[in-house]
Amino acid sequence: MSQDFLPRLGHHSSDLLRLAWPVMLSRAGILLMAFCDIAMLGRYGGGEVGVSNLGLSIFVPILVVVIGLCSGMVPVISHAFGAGAWRECGRAWRRAMVWGTVLSLFGIWLVWQAEDILLWLGSVGMGPGESLAVRGGAAAQAMAPGLLAQVLFAVCAFYLESTRRPRFAMIAMLLANLVNLVFNWVLIFGNLGLPEMGAVGAGIASTIARFAALGLILWYIYAQREPEEAGVSGPWETFWGPGGWRAGWMMRKLGFSAGVSNGFETFGFASMSLFAGRLGSEALDAYSISHNMVSTLFMVGLGLAIATGVRVGIEQGKGCPEEATFAGWTGLLAALVIMGGLGLVVYACRDMLAWIYTDDPAVQARVVGIFVISAFVFLPDTAQIVMGQAVRALGDAWVPILCYALAFLVLLIPMGWVMLAKFGWDERGLVIAIITACTLATISLSWRFYLLTSRARP
């Protein structure tokens, strides 16, 4: 071990965590809304947890794909920031806002078709019955307008994070969760004279909260010192923003890679939810709770991944490939340590966590059982997205798509079906399939990062 290894590791780790922790809380805040929804719906009863999760099984994959398609702005802006091109950072943000708006409108239309999608999935043996499809479709439609707000909030957060100012996105999202809590109380349970709306009310509350978060973060960006010098104001020049369509090519290329990769992953996860629906309402509720726990804590990992991508991109923008390499491996090490620790906490506290989510004894028992296995999802799931961000930060758009296709389409979906239909597992078998797929993605993406950075080794 070279004498400067530990000092370098300390420098990179501290820089990573300073950037990552606000990003973690900001991203955790997105799914904290879903946690709040499920916890409150679990006490409302009537199978509304499963209904909400069916709506989310349509809404979330589309949301994640659209955000992924916009996330190519992260390496673009971090490279510009590393090179000292401050104005170009804001100009790239404006191009991303237009791109995100166009994609979101298409995404809203897709979410609006949720009932038909769920009915079709049911007709091919993958989804719920007709009644659940109708109710899940209504919940998804209540969430649909919030897709625009959440995507544009993510674009604004990416801009602030790539320029090393992540804290306000965290604050805005935490305030939005308070808004969601209040409107959930009113709309789910029918307080203040309004009708009880269950899962649909939770969807409306989340939509209101997402627009509140967007308004706050836009105010902050435009209120920054010398906004025209920062590139966030001034002539738009073309419909597609400053510089036009051609100027956004790299952002769209890297975003396409992230969006398609995220789409494969989220489609695979959504398929697991639909498979769980075939096992009955209690199994669907238990799997939905497990999925929400995994997804909520995964936001910690996503924060590490985004921070790793920004760190790798900034070092590349400075012309320091060896430091970019070190930043990538530091991100992976941090993911293994932090997410491994969180998994142990979930394992140790599984009974208490099940009680927080639901007061139904039958569902609680199934939740405790699935948490025993879900505790081991966090580490490989975070590691694969950290390495995916690191690879894309080096400009590789195409190999990550192949890695995700192999892991989440070729492996995960067939394995999940086999675990239930052939081996007779319950919902816990779906989690084992997820762990296996994430491990494959981690190994393949880590190998790709190693190959891309081998020239930087002394």
Q: What is the pLDDT of residues 170-182, one digit of tens each?
A: 899 989 999 999 9
DSSP 285-314: HHHHHHHHHHHHHHHHHHHHHHHHHHHHHH
Give the closest residue to 426 by CA, choosing from 228, 217, 282.
Answer: 282
Distance CA 167, CA 223 (A): 15
Average pLDDT of every residue of the chain: 88
**Residue 302 is which amino acid?**
L
Distance CA 290, CA 295 (A): 8
Predicted confidence band of residue 124 (pLDDT cuts 50, 70, 90): very low
Distance CA 291, CA 357 (A): 12
Average of pLDDT values for 26-55? 79
Count the neighbouring beta carbons within 10 Å of the beta carbon of residue 155: 25
What percent of the chain shows pLDDT beyond 70?
96
Q: What is the pLDDT of residues 351-383, one digit of tens each?
A: 998 888 877 888 889 989 999 999 899 899 999
**Distance from the first to the final alpha carbon of the chain:** 13
Q: What is the pLDDT of residues 157-201, one digit of tens each?
A: 999 999 989 899 989 998 999 999 999 999 999 898 888 888 899
DSSP 153-166: HHHHHHHHHHTT--
What does the pLDDT read at residue 456?
Answer: 56
Q: Is 387 a residue whose pLDDT tops 70?
A: yes
